[in-house]
A and B are shown apart, each in its own frame.
Chain A
Amino acid sequence: MRMPEPDAGIIARRSDIIAGLRKIVPGEGVIVDEDELRVYECDGLSAYRQLPLIVVLPETTAQVSAILSFCLAEGVKIVPRGAGTSLAGGTLPLADGVTVGLGKFNRILDIDYENRVVVAQSGVTNLGISDAVRHRGFYYAPDPSSQIACSIGGNVSTNSGGVHSLKYGLTTNNLLGLEMVLINGEVVHLGGKHLDSEGYDLLGLMTGSEGLLGIITEVTVRILQKPECARALLIGFSSNESAGDCVAAIIGAGIIPGGMEMMDKPAIHAAEDFVHAGYPRDVEALLIVEADGPEAEVEHLIERIEAIAKESGAVNVRISRDEEERLKFWAGRKAAFPAIGRISPDYYCMDGTIPRNKLAQVLKRIGALSKEYGLGVANVFHAGDGNLHPLILYDANKPGELEAVEEMGAKILRLCVEVGGVLTGEHGVGIEKRDLMDTMFTEDDLKQQQRVKCAFDDGHLLNPGKVYPTLHRCAELGRVHVHRGQFRFPDLPRF
């Protein structure tokens, strides 16, 4: 994984930069000791580590604004960081960059039930929003598995989903407004409590931009009334193909379940051993399908889904009788990652998304790759929206195994793109999939994306080295910024 060459000039000026930042954020908000910096050296993609130059933890939007203006003036790179749970290395620090942590932006600012809206600072956890409104029967719908820890600002940056995004959408479908700070320190407000704003959809553009366009300080999201009733079915199949067919048949019948998750045999066994959710061990694939809504509708949907499952060749159908049992069905799925962690020293989680009708075909090819590389694979995925999470099992202590995993992972993602899918459904590109972007996008597509970057940050100071395989000077893209006869950043590294 190649990152931009650190700028020795910046590193040499470290103490000046620290002094400058301390003027903006006094006291313990500027972290400089190696031991304390260690905490920030990686995120959820822990295979890659790098100590940041400095970490700064602002408490107000005005401080974020001052930090960005300062960094722009000094030519210092910035890595924004929420809770550091990225699975794609989106917050991997830079040796010559300041990591701006938003952990202190942890307040909920406004709860507005009439408009079904919560306004929160960007460091508030995903679950923190649901917790704040639960007593009134509301919740925030996107629910990434890391929801107890991940921040809402980070969710916006990667357009996070979760097990319920099939019916309730991703972050982008539940986001109404943002306060963000641009690289020049300008504070911008986008959207609000009303429906879509007019003009360019900057809110949509910011969602999933992985910290390359600005720093998000405040978020306005839609909250929903908890459905009156929810019940789940646990459906076992003797092959992945028939489970895949069942998914297609349910959707084809016009039913959009609240959640539709699939696990393959290795994942079922690992989860069952860990949480004893009562999963059948003698099946090849397991579907968890949840119907939610008014009671009358749920009953009817459960009947229809059961009938479809049987037609698709289900060998085992259980329907949750009460809330306790429903939660038990889900417990295994939600604990799938830690469960895999128990059976393998390391695992590598992929995030490709494919058109639903290619499910069986892709699973078969993943099986073949698993044999070819001699690496185990456990599959858990959001079957309803075609979002795969193959977990490649490996041991980082065995020489060469990580490299083999990376190669196999890349093949899986290329396969996803080949069948009409995308590299990442909800984790983002970060550094992990950066070098694969050209399999999904043409050179022209990527240049166009970088033109957008130039409109926000033509010096490439915000989170450089992430998402895009090649940095283009904005001048090359047809927008020349000449200052006193010189390019503003003449030694911009290319990699």
Chain B
Amino acid sequence: MAVEAARVNDDLIEALREIVGPRLSTSAAVCEQHGRDESYHTPHPPDVVVFAESTDEVAGIVKACARRQVPVIPFGAGTSLEGHVAALHGGVCIDLGAMDQVVAVNPEDMDATVQAGVTRAQLNTYLRDTGLFFPIDPGAEASIGGMTATRASGTNAVRYGTMRENVLALIVVLADGRVIRTSRRARKSSAGYDLTRLFVGSEGTLGVITEITLRLYGIPEAISAAVCAFPTVADAVNTVILTIQSGVPVARIELLDKRQMEAVNTYSDLEYAAAPTLFFEFHGTERAVAEQAETVQAIAADLGGENFAWATRPEDRDKLWKARHDALYASLALRPGCRGWVTDVCVPISRLAECITETTADLEKSPLIATIVGHVGDGNFHVVLLVDPDQAEEIAEAERFNERLVMRALAMDGTCTGEHGIGHGKMDFLIAEHGEAVGVMRAIKQALDPDNIMNPGKIVRV
């Protein structure tokens, strides 16, 4: 950062108090909590946290900060994995958790408008009697605003896409406190630049997202689940490629590697084979899901898949998927007291087997303990590195491993992050991946936030 950011002073605190009254805190505990996410990154507390309840309040807060050139850091649920909420240059953290209203649901149009602090589970609970649901599920109990800001996805992106495909319009408070609406509820638009997509994934660096209009989907008539073990990762990945190529509209396909399966067997008391295993879910009509499962079973059998099991009743499905759901906690239990460093590369699916195989070989040579879980339908996989944050040498080893992994993915025409975002953890990889395009990103950042007050130090260096 070229210019040192201005710090919060009493004058600003006073101005903020006029907007939010008592919903403001400078206590060390609150600030500490708002500078930390669920990652291994060092926390950076903001100087003050304000709890906004409306777009107007957010606009007022940003205006007050802009006038004094003090950084603004939006905070949703704090479930980021790349240090997005770290107040690297101090400043004002805007906690949007209290903006938790579902503004409108339009069942005929299958869309809903929510405030940024609404969480995914909250929205689906609200929708439960409409026959509709919002599918994106990043695992954590994230806020919709945060999911929008990081372009989150999850296990069913192979069927429903990521946040990129599912946000129709946004209300955003810009760096100077003005409020814009990027689009409307129409399903399609080619009117002007697609600012909606520009703000989706901008990680709070271009403005504060306060309201989001989302696409909803009909709850499928039937859901079935299947599990199948394979001799090698390559066989499992080839099964995925053939499944997608044969037009089976699979809703989720997850891969757990051998070590992850061992961990889950121990943690959840299950008896799966200790082998690379695929977990499938199919959505559709009764007949369709049965047929899809049969097609996949035939493909899997050709590639050496064993013990193909499938189920349609919810309790049986849950049992089949339990191993996947418990994966992260099972990994953490391999080494009590450690933290999980979750990598996030994504490659074209034709290179996935190669990338995972090389990564596994790399892991075997290193002292690190790790498991692998993949959203293989999208070519995205996570290595969960179990590290002790107090061991500097271990963190350094993990960093070197991650760098090799990212470079491997880039060499295979992939990307350094499939769904977690850049934050301040991956800025150098962004340059390695995009080259010239980073210059364009920087120009956009400067054009939309000339004083660099919006979540400074993330995505691109100014």
Contacts and interface: CB of A to CB of B under 8 A. Distances in A.
Interface stretch (A17-25, A42-50, A263-271, A421-429): A421-429
Interface in B168-209: 174, 178-198, 200-202, 206
B192 A198 contact: no
B249 interface: yes
Nearest to B437: A188
A444 B459 CA distance: 25
Given A201-B151, A251-B108, A300-B288, A195 B247 contact: no
A197 B194 contact: no
Contacts of A396: none
Interface stretch (B9-17, B251-259, B335-343, B446-454): B446-454
Contacts of B245: 113-114, 116, 225
Nearest to A417: B184
Contacts of A159: 188-190, 194
B164 A196 contact: yes
A122 interface: no
A377 to B, nearest CB: 20
Nearest to B179: A444
A420 interface: yes
B179 A355 contact: no
B153 interface: yes
Interface string A162-192: 0001100110110000000010001111101
A202 B437 contact: yes
Given A194-B379, A421-B184, A452-B447, A199 B189 contact: no
Contact of A201 (B198, B285, B290, B426): B198
Given A421-B184, A444-B179, A452-B193, A197 B157 contact: no
Given A205-B197, A425-B190, A478 B450 contact: yes
A204 B198 contact: yes
Nearest to A298: B288
Contacts of A205: 193-195, 197-198
Given A353-B187, A442-B180, A204 B108 contact: no
A454 B191 CA distance: 18
A301 interface: yes
A455 B190 contact: no
B422 interface: yes
Given A425-B188, A425-B189, A454 B194 contact: no
Interface in B129-178: 131-132, 151, 153, 157, 161-162, 164-165, 174, 178
Contacts of B190: 158-160, 208, 424-429
Contacts of B164: 196, 201, 204
Chain A: interface residue count, which band? 35 or more
A403 interface: no
B347 interface: yes
A445 B188 CA distance: 18
B218 interface: yes
A141 to B, nearest CB: 12
Contacts of B192: 208, 429, 437, 441, 446, 449, 467-468
Interface stretch (B273-281, B364-372, B384-392, B428-436): B428-436
Interface stretch (A4-12, A252-260, A306-314, A324-332): A252-260
Given A209-B193, A255-B218, A426-B190, A193 B288 contact: no
B414 A188 contact: no
Interface string A127-165: 000000000000000000000000000000011110001
A173 B188 CA distance: 11
A456 interface: yes
Contacts of A387: 186-188
Interface-centre pick from A224, A255, A355 (highest chain B CB count, 10 A): A355
A159 B188 CA distance: 9
Contacts of B128: none
Interface stretch (A26-34, A231-239, A289-297, A485-493): A289-297
A81 interface: no
B2 to A, nearest CB: 15
A186 B442 CA distance: 15
A248 interface: yes
Contacts of A417: 184
Contact of A456 (B106, B108, B201, B443): B443
Interface of B: 106-111, 131-132, 151, 153, 157, 161-162, 164-165, 174, 178-198, 200-202, 206, 217-221, 241, 244-249, 284-285, 287-288, 290-292, 346-350, 378-380, 413-419, 421-422, 426, 430, 433-441, 443-448, 450, 459-460
Interface of A: 112-117, 158-161, 165-166, 169-170, 172-173, 182, 186-190, 192-202, 204-205, 207-209, 212-213, 224-228, 248, 251-256, 293-294, 296-297, 299-301, 353-357, 385-387, 417, 420-429, 433, 437, 440-442, 444-446, 448-449, 451-456, 467-468, 474, 477-479
Given A200-B445, A208-B193, A479-B450, 17 more contacts: A192-B413, A194-B413, A194-B418, A197-B433, A198-B151, A198-B416, A202-B441, A205-B198, A208-B192, A208-B194, A253-B218, A300-B287, A387-B188, A425-B188, A428-B190, A444-B178, A449-B195
Q: Which 6 A-B pairs have the closest CB atoms?
A: A254-B218, A204-B197, A225-B247, A297-B288, A114-B350, A193-B348
